[in-house]
Every structure is written in C-alpha cells, then in structure tokens.
Amino acid sequence: MSDKKLKVGQVKRSAAGLPAIVETVKQVVGEAGLTRGWKALAHLNKKDGYDCPGCAWPDPDDERSALGEYCENGAKAIAEEATLKKLTPEFFAQHNVAELAALSDYEIGRKGRVAQPMFLPAGAAHYQAISWDAAFHTIGKALNNLGSPDEAIFYTSGRTSNEAAFLYQLFVRAYGTNNLPDCSNMCHESSGVALGESLGIGKGSVTLEDFYKAEVIIILGQNPGTNHPRMLTALQKAKANGAYIIAVNPLPETGLMGFNNPQQVKGLLGVTTALTDLFLPVTINGDMALLKAIEYLLWQYEQQAPGQVFDRSFIEQHTAGYEAFIDDLQQQNLDQLAEACGISMNQLRQVAELLKNKTRIIACWAMGLTQHTNAVDTIKEIVNLLLLKGSIGKPGAGTCPVRGHSNVQGDRTMGIYEKPGQPFLNSIESNFQFKPPQHAGYDVVEAIKAMHSGRASVFIAMGGNFLSATPDTNYTAAALRKCTLTVHVSTKLNRSHLVHGREALILPCLGRSDKDLLHGEEQFVSCENSMGVIQLSKGVLPPVSDQLLSEPVIVCRLAKATLGNRSPVNWDKYLQHYDHIRDDIERTIPGFADYNKRVRQPGGFYLPNCNREGSFNTASKKAHFNIAPITTIKLADHELLMMTIRSHDQFNTTIYGLNDRYRGIYNERRVILMNQQDMDQRNLKQGDEVDLCNYSGGIERVAHKFLVVPYPIPVRCTATYFPEANVLVPVNSVAKKSNTPVSKAVVITVRKT
C-alpha cells in the first residue's frame, strides 16, 4: 500500500502527447541526471547506438527520428538502467534480506544497480561481497556436485543478447542438460506452437512496412499504448494511408483509441489521431467465438458471391483442410457465438462487412490471447481467418504476434529452448564436437515443479525476476527456497534475490546502455525484434561500477569454472572478441550468413521468413486450417474471471511508478477493476478493501487487501496487476500444448475484509 491514497480519475481517450514527454524527462533525469540521461536517450534505438531493453517493436528500416526513436516506456526502461544509484556491500551490510523483502516491488526496484558480486551464505541474513572467481568457483562446484545435470535449471529472460544467449545454451548443453526455460514460455509460447503447426514458422510474417500498406489491422488481446508504444506511430501512418483498425479487448485501452504523437506539434498541442474504428469489448476468452462468428458471416457472404470474399486461388494452392473447416463452420450457431463472445450481432455484422472485400489484413496479438487454456487454438483461428482471405505472404497482410521483451525472439533463435529440434542438436554436435543432450528439458512451469519436488536444486537465471514473473507465487517461492543454490545475473536488485536457495549469488552485469570494453576494445551485441530484424546494440554509458561484467564474459568464465578442460569448446576465444561468437553462430544456425559483415550494416538485416515469402515450412508445405471447439468458462454465481495486466508505469515485473494514468488510477497497485453491476451485486463501492481468492485444486490462494475500482469491463470480468495478483494463478492452470500459465482467465471470488 502506498502512503498516498488511491485516486481514481477518468479513463484517457488518447495516449502519449505532452504528458509522455514530461514523464520521460522526470524519470530519466531523476535517475541518471541531465548529462548522462541525455546521452542515454540520444543513442537509444539509433543505428549506431543501442537497442531498447523494453519491448521488441521494430525500428524503422529507413530514417530514425532525429527527435528520438523511443517512447515514454522505453525511456523509463533506460532510466532504470542508467541510474546513478548503486548498491555497494555497505548497503547490503545495512539492510538484511528479510527487511528488503518486506518492501514492495516498486521500492526494491528503485534501490539501484548492484555494483559487485554478492553472496548469501547458508543461514546468513545479509548478502556479502565475493570476488568473481570465488563466485564462479562456487557455482561450478555446486553444479558438479549434482547427481545429474538435469538437477540444474538455467532460466533466460528476454533481455539477453544473441551473443550471450548462444554461449549460454552452448555452456548448458556442454554441461549436459536442456533445462533452458525462458520467459517466452510465459508469453508467446502459444503463438510459436500455433504458428509453427499451422504455417511452418513460429514467428510473425509482417514487417513494419506492411503496416503502411494494410487495408485492415485487427488488434486482439494487446495494449500497445503501454506495452509497445511506438506501434501507435505505425498505426497513425496506417490510418493516414486509409487503413481501418479493429480492436478486440475486454478493456477500452487508451492507446487503442487515440494517439497524440509527441513528435508532432499538433500531437503536443493535444490534437488526437483517432485510431480504432471498431472497438469490440469481448468478454475474457471470448476471442475464439468472435473469430468463428466473423468467419461464419464471411462464409455467408461467400455463398452469395463465390470467390468474391474468400481467396479461392490462395486456398487451393497454399492450404490444406479447407473443406473440413467449412463443414465445421457451417455447424456453428451464430447466436451462441455472439453470446459466447459478448459482442452484439450488429457489431459482428459491421466487422464482416468491413472485411468482406479486403485482402490486405494484418492480425496483431499479445498476452490477451496467449495466456489462456485454449490459446493455441484461438491463435490458429486467427490464422484460419487470414487463410480464408489469402492474407499471408503479401504486402500489407499477415501475422503479427508482438513480442513484449526486446530479444525474447532472438533468444529462441539462438537455441534457448527446452525442446530443441534435432537439426539444431546435430549442428551443435558437428560444430563443437560434443553430443548435446537429446531429451527435452523443463519449461518454466515444469522447472518450478521440479524445484518444488526436489528433482532440481540449483537455479541459475540470466536476467529477469523469476519469482515475480511466474504463477502461484507462494508455491514458486517454496520451490526456490528448496534449492541448494540460486544465482541471478542481474543489473538491479529484485524480489527474486530475496526469495532464495540455501545459498544465493547476485552476479551484476552490464546493461544494454553500458559501454562494453574487452581488452580496451569496444564490443557490441545484437538482438532480434518482433519482425525478425537482427541489429547491433552498442552501449555508450560508462558503467556505474568497474566491477560489472558483460553477459558473454560471465557465461564464458562460468563455463570454464564448471567444465574445466572437459569442455571441447574454446571459451577463451570468445573472451578475445565477440566477432568469434558471431562466427560460430553463423556456422551453427541457418540465416546468419556473413553475420559479422551484415550486422554492421546500418539497421542490420532480416532473417529468412517462409511465410513472408509466401511459403509454408510445414510437412505438407501447405498452410493448415484448424478446427477447434468453442470453450466457455463456467462460473458459479459468486465467482468472477480475473485477468492480470500491466499498468502504464510498468514493464513486465519492473515497476516504474504507482500510477496508471491512461486508466485513471493513481498511487496504488493493489486494485481490482470491476464492472459496476458486479460491484452492486456484491454491495461493493469504489475504494472498498477486499481479499481475492482462488480455490483451484482444492488449495486456497489469497491476494490480500485489494481496493475496488469501477471500470468499463464486461460483466463477470475483472482485471488486476501482476506480479501482485500472480499468487492467484494456479501453477497447474496452463495452456494446452504450450504449457503457458493461464494468467488471463483465473476464477476468483471477492471477499470483503
């Protein structure tokens, strides 16, 4: 609870504008000071600068904005990294773990950068300084004392660069396990599975340029105004070129409605560009029913004008399963579909009318689709709609799962995956002369269960805030506490450092914006954005401490300390220059030919993408229609459905502030957004304090002391912020096939305190 009282104001109708600039300056100058802050912003997302550690929205291929190629939340992410606040051993001597753990995630995050390696011995209350060599020795010893490499977990967050990710997976496989869970398991894993099975590649097909050529852009389960803010610039340009925007979301998110472009005078003066033409306030998990209703209406139009609505030649040439799909579609009951998605028949007909003669259609989506039990099928339903219209593999059309973390897609491309494909394992074997483990490892949910059951006892995280990012907080905390050793490679202090194994280590690394010198020579790393563009990232800021190491160096030294001379990999080579890492990526992973030459080209290069080129890398070389049932979540009268969301002052588990200005919520994060009708039925009013409860699997999970906020959200639907509400998300509640935690559809009851 903040010391200031909860304040609830109007939901904003337009995003960004002057307030975004004010917030940017406040955060950056507040943390880094004027000179350092200005330098940090001046190089952010520039072709010879560094890549934003925020989301994975692409930078323009052509000119980058001279005013600044970043958004408010990108600037906040940089403020966090460029802060001058550093945590020395003296800080940890003054503040014990229990005291720090009692703080909120916001307060912990505001403490600053960890200045040198810190160790928490068994039974100790305070972290204490340790040398890098001693730290690596401690980890190596713990790993080598395990009965099997599968008793260790190696987690990766999406901030990890290509170079560090490639070395990390190489080390972990040389050590002997595929236990490589990553944050993708919790976000777009459902997209990867759905697109891989139906279209032959687990990535989106569109480029930024396609947005400017689209006739219709459908945005489902995504809040770009907060989570991918520069997308609003692309939507503004698309609108100027005549595109229609359809937004599907239980919440009337500000960034979907209007945009005051702060890079334009009119935007600064408050002149709004209206974005969404058709807002569909779908009920939680109503997307599948909505998509089927639209397809059903389009099929009716197709009956009346064969070949005028469906792209018959595309369907015949490039797809499989059309007949069976249409047979199933004909059985659908439109009224039931409308009821299941909570959208009026009139709006459904408006959508179908809009799409009837359009073919350049882009579908964008994010967690609002991927974190559901039927997520994989719902994403395949999007693909069905695009296949009917032939909207894949041509300008202005295609799939666009928008990645929420700057290099989460790159990490997967580098081999950070618990279920690696055989071609990749064979390539590792032929290029590095060792046989990597062939059996699948643990994803995030399986890793939590393995630690909880004692099947795994050493946990190592490359970035991230595992405890706060994962479901079932109390269960996950118990799992981490059962470990003999927990290790975090981090820039800043976070809650996962404070919920630890018998022993714990914090290894402070360089951030994206930090200058990285190796033998006095500046090094750069590279990342892959949502559109599959690989570009370099070279930090410019002097690090806050001379005891920080880069992620690649940390991995190499850890590998040497653990594997010693039993490793066939020449780790010392990589410690000479990162070009050697990229050379080995080039010979191991397809699509990286001339990596070192092409990554130095301004703006980098595109990875191959079969869908973008109009082909489908499935076994049949065809795109597959998919048939799946509508699933509706049955609620008892006293139950509600909860989805976890981010506030505008948040990036994943990093909390920049206690306000959510677009939604009109100030000074408080323990809030539940409720429909007025549901509040009335429970005799609740704004500001009432409640406990939220979940009883899945016969276990009572309680999120205490939340304040009720009336909000325009569909009946029986509610929303809360994570990580505070993750305690309610059952570890066994996962999406079919992708095993992604179901954070968007949690059955809760509300209990007045």
Residue 396 exposed, middle or buried by CB count within 10 Å (0-12, 13-18, 19+): buried
Q: Which is nearer to ligand SF4, 280 or 536 (CB)?
A: 536
Query: What distance in Å separates the CA atoms of residue 15 and residue 226, rounded to the nearest whole number?
Result: 9
> Helix 322-330 to helix 287-304 angle, to the nearest 10 degrees?
100
Contacts 24+ apart (CB under 8 A), 242-245: 242/215, 243/211, 243/214, 243/215, 243/216, 243/217, 244/215, 244/216, 244/217, 244/277, 244/278, 244/354, 244/358, 245/216, 245/217, 245/218, 245/219, 245/275, 245/276, 245/277, 245/278
Is the Cβ of residue 54 or residue 604 nearer to ligand SF4 in the bound state?
Answer: 54
Nearest C-alpha neighbor of 653 from the set 532, 548, 743, 561: 743
Beta bridge partners of 691: 751
Largest CA distance in the chain: 77
Phi-psi region of 206 (alpha: psi -120 to 50; beta: other; left: phi over 0): beta
The two structure tokens encoding residue 322: 């059309």
Q: Given the complex with ligand SF4, which of 45 and 236 has the nearer CB atom?
A: 45
- Smallest separation (angstroms) from ligand SF4 to the CB of 530: 9
For ligand SF4, which is the closer residue by CB, 260 or 457? 260
Binding site for ligand SF4 (CB under 6 A): 45, 52, 54-55, 57, 70-71, 73-74, 228-230
What residue has token string 């990012």?
469
Q: Which is nearer to ligand SF4, 45 or 191 (CB)?
A: 45
Q: How far is the CB of 716 from ligand SF4 (least distance, A)?
A: 33
Residue 664: Cβ-neighbour burial (10 angstroms; 0-12, 13-18, 19+): middle
Q: Considering beta carbons, is residue 152 or 247 the nearer one to ligand SF4?
A: 247
Spatial distance between the Cα atoms of 707 and 690, rounded to a whole number of angstroms:
6
Report in angstroms how near the CB of residue 58 gets to ligand SF4 at its nearest.
Answer: 8
- Shorter beta-carbon distance to ligand SF4: residue 110 or 228: 228
Measured from the CB of residue 73, what is the shortest distance to ligand SF4 in angstroms? Answer: 5
CB of 101 to ligand SF4, least distance (A): 29
Locate 300 and state its tokens. Answer: 């009716």
Please, what is the minimum distance in Å from the beta carbon of residue 234 to ligand SF4?
10
CB of 362 to ligand SF4, least distance (A): 17
State which residue, 58 or 202, has the beta carbon closest to ligand SF4. 58
Rounded Cα distance between 519 and 511, Å, is: 18
The candidate with the shortest Cα–Cα distance to 626, out of 234, 199, 20, 310, is 199
Cα torsion 227, 229, 234, 239: sign: positive
Least distance from C-beta 159 to ligand SF4, angstroms? 12
In angstroms, what is the minimal distance from the CB of 259 to ligand SF4?
Answer: 13
* Least distance CB 584 / ligand SF4 (angstroms): 28
In the complex, least distance from residue 71 CB atom to ligand SF4, rounded to whole angstroms: 4
Count of C-beta atoms within a 10 Å radius of residue 358: 17
Q: Which is nearer to ligand SF4, 230 or 557 (CB)?
A: 230
Contacts of 305 by beta carbon, 8 Å cutoff, 6+ apart: none
Which residue, 55 or 348, is less far from ligand SF4 as judged by CB?
55
The residue nearest ligand SF4 at its CB is 74
Give the whole-angstrom CA distance, residue 230 versus residue 224. Answer: 8
Beta bridge partners of 124: none
Q: Taking the complex as a whole, how short is the minimal distance between the CB of residue 77 and ligand SF4, in angstroms?
A: 6
Q: Which is nearer to ligand SF4, 259 or 616 (CB)?
A: 259
* Burial annotation 129-163 (CB, 10 A radius, 16+ → b, else e): bbebeebbebbbebbeebeebbbbbbbbbbbbbbb
Q: What does the alpha-carbon distance between residue 2 and residue 5 come to, in Å, rounded to a whole number?
A: 7
Output 52 or 146, the one with its CB closest to ligand SF4. 52
